[in-house]
Amino acid sequence: MKLTIVYDNERWSEGLVSDWGFSCLIQTDPVNILFDTGANGLLLLRNMNKLGVNPGIIDVVFISHGHWDHMGGLSSFLGVKQVPVILPASVRAPGRAEEVTKIKESVELYPGIYTTGELKGIEQSLVIRMGGELLVVVGCAHPGVANILKAASQYGEVAHLVGGLHGFDDFSLLEGLKTVCPVHCTQHKLDIKLFWPDKWVQGGVGRVLEFPEPVG
């Protein structure tokens, strides 16, 4: 399984453009998921092109929450490739979306791939089970990292966390994790790096992370 950051506040690779927002492509054997779409659709598509990512390979878009910096690029992407869109129940679907699934409760989306459900009425996170451990991908962690990890842990032991963590500062919660890749809105990136240097993984547009394949 490969996770490629295609939209972020910081840049990892030359030739890509950073911008406020987040999106990553998660490529697995059962399905290729575009997690969020950043703020600007043209920039999203440009970065994807620079990374050699053909929109045609994407099977579904998963939106964490309805803020512009996470779904601003959705309409532009759907203008290029029509795919199903998975939204939190509180988020209004864009006009270009032909197939929409609204999520309220935690559910298995594909074998070994789950949503936490819409937590605190604002945001869902993606949970991928890889044998006995989990990868959790978050948008902004508005419901709180503790709540997200608790919701995800019904499917196993969380080992990897990737995404925006906003003002999260209870770093002891990360003790049991193997890797943490804080991106986008995370206010305390340096503090997390200093607190858990062995777990820290730097993000940025163009960063590619490899994980085991999902296990259903």
> What is the arithmetic mean of pLDDT over 9-33?
96
Residue 216's pLDDT is what? 78
> What is the arithmetic mean of pLDDT over 128-133?
93
Q: How confident is the model at residue 95 (pLDDT cuts 50, 70, 90)?
A: confident
> Mean pLDDT across the chain, nearest whole number?
97
CA distance linking residue 193 with residue 171, whole number of Å: 10
Residue 131's pLDDT is what? 86
Q: How many C-alpha atoms does 175 have within 13 Å on its Cβ side?
A: 3
Q: Are 16 and 206 in contact (CB under 8 A)?
A: yes
Summarised one tens digit per residue, pLDDT across range 132-167 is 899 999 999 999 999 999 999 999 999 999 999 999
Counting DSSP H helices and E strands in the chain, the numbers are 5, 13
CA distance linking residue 93 with residue 204, whole number of Å: 28
CA distance linking residue 20 with residue 22, whole number of Å: 7
> Does the pLDDT value for residue 96 go beyond 90?
no
Which residues, 6+ apart, have CB-to-CB distance to 63 below 8 Å? 36, 37, 70, 71, 74, 85, 86, 87, 88, 91
Summarised one tens digit per residue, pLDDT across range 179-198 is 999 999 999 999 999 999 99
Residue 132's pLDDT is what? 86
> Does the pLDDT value for residue 34 go beyond 90?
yes
How far are the Cα atoms of 57, 98, 161, 177, 214 from residue 26, in angstroms, in the given order? 11, 22, 14, 20, 11
Residue 183's pLDDT is what? 98
3-state secondary structure of 194: helix
Question: pTM score > 0.85 for this model?
Answer: yes
Summarised one tens digit per residue, pLDDT across range 103-115 is 999 999 999 999 9
Q: Are 23 and 212 in contact (CB under 8 A)?
A: no
How far are the Cα atoms of 66, 76, 182 from residue 213, in angstroms, in the given order? 28, 29, 22
Among 3.40.50.1820, 3.60.15.10, 3.40.50.1980, 3.40.47.10, name the CATH number for the domain at 2-210.
3.60.15.10
Q: What tokens were used for 120?
A: 């605190």
> Does the pLDDT value for residue 94 go beyond 90?
no
Task: Indicate the domain borders of the chain.
Answer: 2-210
Residue 93's pLDDT is what? 87
How far are the Cα atoms of 29, 105, 153, 176 from residue 66, in angstroms, in the given order? 28, 17, 24, 30
